[in-house]
Amino acid sequence: MTKIEIKGVIVMNDYKEVYEWYGIECTSPNDVINQLPSDNSPVEIIINSGGGHVDAGNEIYARLKAYQGEVTTNTYSIAASAASIIAMAGDKVLISPTAQLMIHNVSGFADGDHRAHTQEAKVLEGYNKAIANAYTLKSGKSEEEILQMMNDETWLNANEAVEKGFADDVLFENKIQYVASSYAILPNEAINKARLMMKEQSSATSTVEDKVTKTDLEAFKNEITNLINQSKQEPTPEPVKPTNKRKGFLF
């Protein structure tokens, strides 16, 4: 699987060399686009960024959404502002248990009289509504809810991101095994216990206290059979997934 890292400031392509000249870590759209495989094989996007230029973030998001292969976004530390848009582009959106995700309004700068500032405010509101689409598509929340979260500059830890629909899972956690089957499925605990008993049986000495007998195994098998009969697992349906330049603005 191709791994693409998005680190530092999210910048426009023609700004990248300036940031690098200053020694500032950054990622541009071309950094991502040029690494996408031509065979549409799966890619993993590793994110550690506090954001940057909104147009650059939007372009990376669109390119990843348009990619024909499977895209997994992993937030390892922080996906804030423009970087949080990119995180939403994954077919699978994962987040480290220690990471954070942040969404807020777009910022900009304007010169001129009151008319210029009024116009700039309208433009910024338009940007907010545009990027809110990325969050609504992923979370299922309404535009009104998302815009309020952006107004409040909302920070989400890993569990909150999953709970509110901005991520699918927390990385590195042991997850419950979901199945779609009419057959009885052994729980992981039972499998691990059986393996341990089987190992002990094969390596047991001839002493009575160390030896695992057939009676022990039969008793354990009966215990698991009773457990399965008491609680049969029903098929779990797959979650339904949503279908589907101005350079001065920071996000």
Q: Which pLDDT does position 242 carry in this prediction?
A: 42
Looking at the DSSP assignment, which residues form a beta bridge with residue 101? 79, 156
Residue 239 belongs to a domain: no
Number of neighbouring beta carbons within 10 Å of residue 53:
25
Q: Point out the domain boundary residue: 142, 170, 198.
A: 170
Share of the chain above pLDDT 70, in %: 71
Indicate if 103 and 159 belong to the same structural domain: yes
Residues 92 and 119 in one domain: yes
State whether 21 and 58 are in the same domain: yes
Kindly list the distances between the CA atom of residue 120 and the CA atoms of 107, 123, 136, 248, in Å, as whole numbers in the listed order. Answer: 10, 5, 24, 11
First vs last C-alpha separation in the chain: 30
pLDDT digits (tens, 9 = 90+) for 149-203: 999 999 999 999 999 999 999 998 765 454 554 444 555 666 667 667 777 766 6
* CATH number of the domain that residue 103 is part of: 3.90.226.10
Q: Do the domain assignments include residue 248? A: no
pTM for the model stands at 0.71
Nearest CA to 49 out of 40, 63, 41, 60 is that of 60
Burial label for 45, CB within 10 Å (0-12, 13-18, 19+), is buried
Do 65 and 96 lie in a common domain?
yes
* 82 CB-contact burial (10 Å; exposed 0-12 / middle 13-18 / buried 19+): buried
Identify whether 240 is part of a domain.
Answer: no
Q: Residue ranges of the chain with pLDDT lower than 50? A: 176, 178, 181-184, 209, 234, 236-247
The residues that bridge with 93 in the sheet, in sequence order, are: 73
Give the number of domains in the chain. Answer: 2
Domain that holds residue 199: 188-230
CA–CA separation, 17 vs 26, rounded Å?
Answer: 9
Structure tokens at 151: 């107004």
What pLDDT score does 188 carry? 61
